[in-house]
Amino acid sequence: MNRTWTLVLAAALLGGCRSYDYQAPVSSQAGLVPPDQFARYGREQAISVALGREFAKPYNSGAGAQTDIVMAYARKFPDIVSIVPDSQGHRLTVQFKSGWRTGVVPIADGKSGDETVIPQ
């Protein structure tokens, strides 16, 4: 009887362990406003969509190098004050001159950042 409870408890503990795949839940776009619609909300929103689209490009060089590439791409926007990458490389925190701060995650919708319409 004790052996059965031990096995049931061990199975419950192993089943309750979470996975360490943080990329999929963070970058999931399910339930969010579509990127093209969000980009029409304003200039800063369009810039954050452009950064997210560049962040989702497959550079085949790892999350750290991908973050560096997106940070270099962000330098062409004078509205951005600072960019802070996540330590695991799954998101960026971008602060604009207006004071608005947003999190940018990869947006894999098949478009590049340069295809995003950014209003003046």
Please report which confidence band the pLDDT of residue 96 belongs to, taking 50, 70 and 90 as the band edges: very high
Q: For residue 3, what pLDDT is reported?
A: 84
Q: For residue 102, what pLDDT is reported?
A: 94
Please report which confidence band the pLDDT of residue 22 belongs to, taking 50, 70 and 90 as the band edges: low
CA–CA separation, 31 and 65 (whole Å): 29
For residue 94, is pLDDT > 90? yes
Q: For residue 81, what pLDDT is reported?
A: 96
* Contact yes or no for 53/68 (Cβ under 8 A): no
Q: For residue 76, what pLDDT is reported?
A: 93
Q: For residue 44, what pLDDT is reported?
A: 95
* Annotated domain spans of the chain: 34-120
